[in-house]
A and B are shown apart, each in its own frame.
Chain A
Amino acid sequence: SQQGEEDPQALSIQEGENATMNCSYKTSINNLQWYRQNSGRGLVHLILIRSNEREKHSGRLRVTLDTSKKSSSLLITASRAADTASYFCATDLTGGSYIPTFGRGTSLIVHP
């Protein structure tokens, strides 16, 4: 069963707008990762945020983590058509076998 669940399932925006995706999880984690998947390809790692971190940035990406609410968000600023992809969060459970479990993903479409 999925530990993390992304929301919304689908998101459609115009180029230049910001895109925000959320991930909620159920139990304590060591870290949370975000991945991108372009159509027909494998997943590509974007950001890993540890449980003692609250925010991380990478280029136009900003990830926040709120362990009290068991949630994370991925913000893509100034979206481009090339950002069109599915985005997944993956959580690694504390006290477990350090194996990432993935959510069902958010499908993002950025219209040029």
Chain B
Amino acid sequence: DAGITQSPRYKITETGRQVTLMCHQTWSHSYMFWYRQDLGHGLRLIYYSAAADITDKGEVPDGYVVSRSKTENFPLTLESATRSQTSVYFCASSERGGYSPLHFGNGTRLTVT
């Protein structure tokens, strides 16, 4: 099925552990994004990618690493998870960045204990 999928849907991890959130899209969109959503803050951009092998920081990149070796995948890694990274993470894709609609996955709810 065409679309954008995130995995896992829920994740509980311990402080200090590395965790990777996966994102896969089937449209071959150029742009992909990672946002985190927290109460009182709305959606904040972590990283984005304009094409394969091109990534750039967003508003809140510290503690996160991304890669994009293939157009369809954009994994987000928390190198050493902290409690402040407990959040809901959304991946999105679009054809032309902010010039076109974003298509969102259903999110990954991450809890860091």
A100 close to B42 (CB less than 8 A): no
Kindly identify, within residues 20 to 46 of chain A, every residue whose CB is under 8 Å from any CB belonging to chain B. 30-31, 33, 35, 40-45
B106's nearest neighbour on chain A, judged by CB, is A42
User: Are B42 and A45 closer than 8 Å at their CB atoms?
Assistant: no
Closest Cβ of chain A to B87, distance in Å, is 14
User: Known contacts A42-B90, A102-B35: does B98 contact A88 (CB below 8 Å)?
Assistant: no
User: Would you call B58 and A99 a contact (CB within 8 A)?
Assistant: yes
Chain B neighbourhood of A90, CB < 8 A: 98, 102
Known interface pairs A43-B90, A99-B45, A99-B58. Does A92 touch B98 (Cβ–Cβ under 8 Å)? yes
A111 within 8 A of B: no
Q: Is the CB of B58 within 8 A of A41?
A: no
A104 interface residue per 8 A CB criterion: yes
User: Which residues of B sit under 8 angstroms from A92, Cβ to Cβ?
Assistant: 97-99
Contacts of A88 in B (CB 8 A): 42-43
Indicate whether A103 sits within 8 Å of B101 (C-beta atoms), given known contacts A1-B59, A42-B90, A42-B107. no
A58 at the interface (CB under 8 A from B): no
Chain A contact surface mostly:
strand
**Chain B positions 87 through 113: 1 when the CB is less than 8 Å from some CB of chain A, otherwise 0:** 000101000111111111111000000
Q: Is the CB of A102 within 8 A of B43?
A: yes
- List the A side residues contacting B104 at CB < 8 Å: 42-44
Contact B101 A97 (CB under 8 A): no
State whether B98 touches A104 (Cβ < 8 A): no
Q: Taking the nearest CB of chain A, how far is it from the CB of B13, in angstroms?
A: 20
* A to B CB contacts below 8 Å, 30 in the list: A1-B59, A30-B99, A31-B98, A33-B98, A33-B101, A33-B102, A35-B102, A40-B106, A41-B106, A42-B92, A42-B104, A42-B106, A42-B107, A43-B90, A43-B102, A44-B104, A45-B103, A48-B100, A88-B42, A88-B43, A91-B98, A92-B98, A93-B98, A98-B97, A99-B33, A99-B48, A100-B97, A101-B59, A102-B43, A105-B42
Sort A-B residue pairs by CB-CB distance and give the 4 closest, nearest first: A92-B98, A42-B104, A98-B97, A104-B42
